[in-house]
Amino acid sequence: MSENTMSDNTMLDSTGLVIKAGFRLRPATADDIAGLVKIESDVTPFPWSAKQFAESLQNHRCYVLCKGNRLVGFLIFNQVIDEAELLNIAVKSSFQGEGLGACLLDYCLAEISGTALNLFLEVRVSNFPAIALYEGRGFLHVGERRAYYHGASGREDALIMRCDLTAN
């Protein structure tokens, strides 16, 4: 593997990490906040605010997925010592179904492997595509948070999921 090749499907170029042909991943900046809010608003009825994204830029690891100069997705995670948490991940609805969410999740897993023992996340119980993605990457249900999310008709529960990064 050449030094510019990160794995079978990812390569480093001058504009960031190419995680799929035509798509690159780079660290998010303050200039991306409006685009992050737009993507989040596109995919969830109760999106994070610009303030929440700005705070994440200061305190967490934030990446944007671009096609050319267009933001089409993002990934936000955090790691404290040997535990990591996926805080937010989204792909613009017009780009869903192309495996980009899986590419973002795989990047996160690769970034923390070797330093984190577990990756935790919460997901809406109704978000079946995301749950299937997480289960396909080895996440297990380890708990539930009652009434964790705002919902169209009240509150919605969250599944707590964990991926054991020490398992082979």
- Residues forming the active site: 122, 134
Chain mean position to CA 65: 10
For helices 50-59 and 33-43, angle between their N-to-C axes, nearest 10 degrees: 120
Q: Choose among 62, 72, 73: nearest CA to 27.
A: 62
Counting Cβ atoms within 10 Å, is residue 117 exposed (0-12), middle (13-18) or buried (19+)? middle
